[in-house]
């Protein structure tokens, strides 16, 4: 069994942890995924196209449609 001083184990730096965990963890897509909502689920529940949901996650959806989808997500009680 390797020990902390074993040549195969490398200590994890704070910078590495931050680069992995902090990157977009509170964005819409990771938040909904943590709550069990996949793109397929959102498409079915909110009568949207997969491309619309993906564009919403990437902040590239038309502002009017973004407002519509966000309102529907909020009315459904999703954590956005």
**Residue 17: which H helix or E strand, with range?**
helix 14-21
State residue 5's pLDDT score.
Answer: 60
Decide: 77 and 50 in contact? Cβ < 8 Å.
no
State residue 52's pLDDT score.
Answer: 95
State residue 2's pLDDT score.
Answer: 56
Between residues 24 and 60, which one has the greater pLDDT? Answer: 60
CB atoms within 10 A of CB 60: 10
Q: What is the pTM of this model?
A: 0.67
Query: Domain limits of the chain?
Result: 24-75
What are the pLDDT digits (tens) for 36-78?
Answer: 889 999 999 998 999 999 999 889 999 999 999 999 999 999 8
Decide: 24 and 18 in contact? Cβ < 8 Å.
no
């Amino acid at each position: 069994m390797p020990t902390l001083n074993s040549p195969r184990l490398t200590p994890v730096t704070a910078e590495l942890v931050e680069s992995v965990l902090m990157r977009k963890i509170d964005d819409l897509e990771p938040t909904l995924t943590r709550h069990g909502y996949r793109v397929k689920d959102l498409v079915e529940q909110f009568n949207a196209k997969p491309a619309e949901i993906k564009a919403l996650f990437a902040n590239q959806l038309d502002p009017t449609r973004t407002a519509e989808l966000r309102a529907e997500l909020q009315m459904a009680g999703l954590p956005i």
